[in-house]
Every structure is written in C-alpha cells, then in structure tokens.
A = this chain, B = another copy of it.
C-alpha cells in the first residue's frame, strides 16, 4: 500500500520559503499572488495492512514537527 503525508507549517508560523517564492514570482511578472506556503509531501511505500494509525505515529515521531507543523495523511 501507499500513503502520502502532507506536512505544512501551521497558520501563523512564518514561512520564509513561501515568502521567497512569492517575491520571486512577483519579480518574474506573475501578478496577483496573495500568498504562498511551502510544505513537504512524503510518499511512503508500506507493507500491505499497515494501519493509518501507524502512519500517524511516524508523523508524530519523525515526519512532522508538531509544534509548528500540521500533517495530513492520505492513503492511496
């Protein structure tokens, strides 16, 4: 089975990468960009039968820093 984990900075946490992308797009002539947030996506190829709870445990312990990041699990 495959699972995809999205890790994004929580709202209110400054995102310098996203800001850099926003400025760069503006400088390249792309107008009307009101905000950019950048996060990570991690695709896991797992043994069949791995539970979503197990993936959540991976997120809590390694994949996300839950102080500043939120995560979302999508089982494919």
**Which residues of A come within 8 Å of B, CB atoms?**
6, 8, 18, 21, 24-25, 28, 30-47, 50, 54, 57-58, 61-63
Contact = CB atoms under 8 A, between A and B. Distances in A.
Given A30-B54, A32-B47, A58-B30, A39 B37 contact: no
Contacts of A30: 54, 57-58
Given A24-B62, A28-B61, A28-B62, A43 B39 contact: yes
Given A54-B30, A62-B21, A62-B28, A42 B47 contact: no
Contact of A40 (B28, B38, B43): B38
Given A21-B62, A32-B50, A62-B25, A6 B41 contact: yes
